[in-house]
Amino acid sequence: MFDTIIVGAGIAGAVTARKLAEEGNRNVLVIERRNHIGGNCYDCPDEHGILIHAYGPHIFHTDNERVREYLSRFTEWYDFGHEVVAKVGEKLIPVPFNLNTLHMVYEEEKADRLGKKLIAEYGEGSRVPIMKLRENADPDVREIAEYVYQNVFLRYTMKQWGQKPEEISPEVTGRVPVVISYDNRYFKDKYQSVPADGFTPMFEKMLDHERIEVWTNTDCADVLAFAEGKIYFQGEEFTGDLVYTGAIDELFDCRFGRLPYRSLDFRFEHLDTDSYQGHSVVNYTVSEDFTRITEFKFLTGQKDADGTTIVREYPFAYTGAEGEIPYYAILEDANRELYRKYKALTEDYKGFYLLGRLAEYQYYNIDAMALKALELADRLMAAE
């Protein structure tokens, strides 16, 4: 009945499903544990009519023309240069820390002098990881690094990851750079946008194909089984391709132990005012228990609803308890080794493919995940 089964209706599963159905003429079943499609990109109107991102802010940004063109088949875009600020004392300063931030922190003459040093040392437009900046021999450069470390990086990182900065992998610290530029945009990609009507309508269009069937509210453990190198679907042997985008440790009942993740507690609030903070995202890098506040109307460009809705994010360690969601893999050597043990369990099964943040225990932006999905679908079709 089905040529391909895909577990998960997020960006990885939806892109793979559409390409295999449309170009590979495959009958595809998409199984989704939640009661909706879209994965963590899922958005919906709240009770006040404000379009919210239920699992925190998601922005599509890319330089990849193939990905942009593919997703544009299913949506128009609301394009904007995403800017983030951090609350440091009574100031809201641009992050990543850049040359504009420098002029907000220091008096003009000193800021000009320090800016020239940074450009001479690293080149205009470069992005320098904070840990690398702290190693610079020039005391002026180290002064900048120390300010950023103490006011932008240190406490925020400890809140987000529950670790000291020196315990965190370079892949994470590298995402907190100092940018040698006057550009306040958080991302530097050519395209920066959200779907004009929301992410969920984009997913609905993507999965709306006569060869795609979607089962929501369905745990794959209830319909799939694995034994002696064979995959079973509803009790019958399944010989097609299985693309799994869920948590790999949970697929095997965490037999080697649970893979560590950070999770988030989202606390939404609606306010009877046109604006709460005047920005889409404000990071709380020094104070407060939460890491950031998102104000959705500034993220989506929505104009047709009264009031405003915000969400505060409180990080915590994922335990696997009911209602918790694993968001960020903790990329340490021991955790990677644990992941490899789970991955090895899949290698006995022909036609079993791992794809996505949870399945690969890796961090992906939306565009990178969409590209991997397109490339996997290409390989599967080429192998026929």
CB neighbour list of residue 160: distance below 8 Å, 6 or more residues apart: 262, 291, 315, 328
The predicted structure's pLDDT at residue 227: 92
Alpha-carbon distance 13 to 47, whole Å?
A: 29
For the chain, 384 residues long, the average pLDDT of each consecutive 10-residue run is 97 98 98 98 98 98 98 97 93 94 95 95 93 92 93 90 78 79 93 98 98 98 95 97 97 96 98 96 94 97 95 97 95 95 95 98 97 98 92
334 CB neighbour count, 10 Å cutoff: 9
| DSSP letters for 184-220 | -BS---SEEEEETT-HHHHHHHHH--TTEEEE-S--G
The full set of domain ranges for the chain reads 4-81+193-258+331-382, 84-179, 261-317
Dihedral, 291, 296, 299, 302 alpha carbons, nearest 10: -170
Q: Give the pLDDT confidence score for residue 26 in this predicted structure.
A: 98
CATH superfamily of 4-81+193-258+331-382: NAD(P)-binding Rossmann-like Domain (3.40.50.720)
- pLDDT confidence of residue 384: 81
CA 325 to CA 263: how far, in whole Å?
A: 6
96-132 burial string, b = 16+ CB within 10 Å, else e? Answer: bbbbbbbbebbeeeebeebbeebeeebeeeebbebbe
Say how far apart CA 257 and CA 250 lie, in whole Å: 9
Is residue 42 within 8 Å of residue 226, measured between CB atoms?
no
> How many Å apart are CA 365 and CA 142, to the nearest integer?
31
What is the rounded distance in angstroms from the CA atom of residue 345 to the CA atom of residue 27? 27
Quick check: helix, strand or coil at residue 238? strand
Residue type, 361: Y
- Both tokens of 168, joined, read 């965190």
CA dist., res. 95 & res. 152, Å (int):
8
